[in-house]
Chain A
Amino acid sequence: MTGSRALRWVAVAAVAVATVLAWIVWRGPRRPDAVAVAPARKLPELNGVLTLSVQLDRRVEVVAGTPIVFDVYLTTGKSAPSLSIGRTAEPWHSLVRLVDDSSGKPLGWALAPLGSPRSIAFAAEQGEAKAMDSTGNVAVVDYDHVHHLVLAASPEATKDLVPGTYAVRALIEGDSRLESAPVTVVVRGAGEAAGGDRLERERMAQSAQFYLLAKRFEDARRISGELAAREPKNCGAWMLLGDALDGLGKPREALAVYRRALAVSPRTYEEPTLLYERMAAMRQKLAS
Chain B
Amino acid sequence: MRSVRRLSPLPRVVAVFCAIACVSNLGSARPADAPSGDVHRFRWHGRIDDVDFWVGRAKSGGDVNRLPQPYTSSHVIKVEFEYVQQIAADGSESWPERHLTWSLEGAQGDDTFTEGCHGAGSLDLGPASSSGTLTDEQRNSLKATCEHKKLAISWRMYGRLESMPPLPEIPAVSYLDKNCTYRKEEGTRRTIIWMTPDVDAVVEMDTKPGSEYAKFVPVPGKFVELTVKTVPVFPARFRFVIDREHTSNFAGYAGNASIDEGFFKRYGLEHLAGEYTDSSPDLIFDKQHFQGSAWSTVKQDVVETATEQGMAVARVSAMDYGAIGKVGVYVQCKCGGQGSSAKGGAVWTPAKVLVGGKPHDAVSVPLDEDNNLMADALEDYKGDPGRDDDADPEGDGTKGDGLTTFEEYRGFMTKGGDCFDPANDLFVRTTPRFKELFVYASNEILDRASGWAGWAGDIPIISLCDRHLTGVSTVKDAVNNAPEGRGTLSVDPDTRVVNFTLQRARQRKFLDHVVSLPEPQHGVIVMAVGSSNPLLGGAPALAVPVSDPSELGPPKHTAAVLVLARQEIAESLRATMHELGHAMGIPHHSDRRTGWRVRPGVLNVVPALSPLQAAGIELFSEDAKVLEGQPTPDALLVEPGPACTQKNRAAAYRDGKFAGCLTSVIVRRGQQCSGDVACPMRYKYTDFYEPPGAKAEYTWTGTVTDGPDVKVEGPGTGAASAASGSASAGRGIDPRAVPEGGDQHVFSVDAWRGNLLQWPEGHHWPLGYFCRSPQGTDVNAAHGSRNLAGDAGRAEPCRGYLVVNDNADKDSK
- Residue with the greatest number of chain A CB neighbours at <10 A, chosen from B481, B569, B607: B569
Contact call B444/A75, Cβ cutoff below 8 A:
yes
Q: Mark B584-607, 1 if CB is under 8 A from A, else 0.
A: 000010000000001000001011
Please state if B628 and A267 are interface contacts (CB–CB under 8 Å).
yes
Is B678 at the interface (CB under 8 A from chain A)? yes
A56 lies within 8 A of B565 (CB): yes
Q: Mark B173-210, 1 if CB is under 8 A from A, else 0.
A: 00000000000000000000000000000000000000
CB distance A56 to B528 under 8 Å?
A: yes
Please give me the residue from chain B that is nearest to A236 by CB atom. B532
Within 8 Å of chain B (Cβ to Cβ): is A188? no
CA distance A265 to B633 in the complex (A): 12
Task: Select the stretch in A6-14, A84-92, A157-165, A238-246 that faces chain B.
Answer: A238-246
A127→B678 contact, CB < 8 A: yes
**Residue of chain A at shortest CB distance from B545:** A269
Partner of B484, one of A77, A234, A275: A234
Asked if A259 meets B728 with Cβ closer than 8 Å, knowing A208-B532, A235-B534, A236-B534, the reply is yes
Compute how far the CA of A245 lies from the CA of B736 in the bound complex, rounded to whole angstroms: 12
Give the bracket for the number of chain A residues in contact with chain B: 35 or more
Interface window among A20-28, A33-41, A250-258: A250-258
- Closest B residue, CB atoms, query A204: B532
Q: Does B327 contact A (CB under 8 A)?
A: no
| B747 CB–A CB distance under 8 Å | yes
Tell yes or no: B356 within 8 A of A by CB: no
Q: Is A272 a contact of B487 with CB atoms below 8 Å?
A: no
A117 in the interface, Cβ–Cβ < 8 Å?
no
Answer yes or no: A103 CB below 8 A from chain B CBs.
no
Q: Which residue of A has the minimal Cβ distance to B539? A: A270
Instruction: State whether A252 touches B745 (Cβ < 8 A).
Output: yes
B541 interface hit (Cβ, 8 Å): yes
The minimal Cβ–Cβ distance linking B67 to chain A, given in whole angstroms, is: 108
Residues of B within 8 A of A124 (CB): 452, 455
* Other-chain contact of B606, A120, A227, A228, A271 (Cβ < 8 Å): A271
Which of B418, B538, B680 is in CB contact (< 8 Å) with A180? B418
A146 and B685 form a contact (CB under 8 A) = no
B359 within 8 A of A: no
Count of chain B residues near A, Cβ 8 A: 101
The segment from B33-41, B312-320, B570-578, B691-699 found at the interface with A is B570-578
Contact A77 B417, CB 8 Å, known A51-B444, A225-B736, A225-B737: yes
- Asked whether, in the complex, the Cβ of B443 is within 8 Å of the Cβ of A51, the reply is yes
One of B276-284, B394-402, B764-772 contacting the partner: B764-772
Asked if A236 and B729 sit within 8 Å, CB to CB, the answer is: no
Evaluate contact between B739 and A280: CB separation under 8 angstroms: no
Which residues of chain B are near A132, meaning CB under 8 Å? 569-570
How many whole Å from A209's CB to the nearest CB in chain B?
5
The docked-state distance in angstroms from the alpha carbon of A231 to that of B482 is 12
Partner of A273, one of B540, B570, B729, B768: B540
> Does A128 count as interface, using CB distance less than 8 angstroms?
yes
* Contact call A213/B649, Cβ cutoff below 8 A: no
Task: Assess whether B559 is interfacial by the CB under 8 Å rule.
Answer: no
Q: Which A residues touch B608, using CB under 8 A? A: 262, 265, 267, 271-272
**Chain B residues, Cβ within 8 Å of A133:** 568-570
| B664→A263 contact, CB < 8 A | no
Interface string of B401-433 (1 = CB under 8 A from A): 000000000000000111111000000000000
B442 near A209: Cβ-Cβ < 8 Å: no
Q: Residue A154 at the B interface, CB < 8 A?
A: no
What's the Cα separation between A24 and B604 when bound, in Å? 84
Q: List 28 A-B contacts (CB under 8 A).
A: A51-B443, A56-B529, A57-B476, A77-B416, A122-B451, A129-B452, A131-B573, A208-B532, A209-B531, A228-B736, A229-B736, A232-B735, A234-B532, A235-B538, A236-B530, A236-B534, A237-B735, A256-B733, A259-B731, A263-B730, A267-B487, A269-B487, A269-B542, A270-B542, A273-B540, A274-B539, A275-B538, A277-B664
What 20 additional pairs, Cβ within 8 angstroms, besides A256-B738, A271-B606? A53-B443, A73-B445, A122-B452, A130-B570, A148-B445, A198-B481, A208-B532, A209-B530, A221-B738, A224-B735, A226-B735, A226-B736, A235-B537, A235-B538, A241-B735, A268-B544, A270-B539, A271-B683, A276-B538, A279-B635
Q: Which 10 A-B pairs rank lowest in CB-CB distance, beginning with the nearest?
A: A181-B420, A272-B538, A252-B741, A287-B649, A275-B538, A276-B664, A268-B487, A228-B735, A259-B730, A205-B532
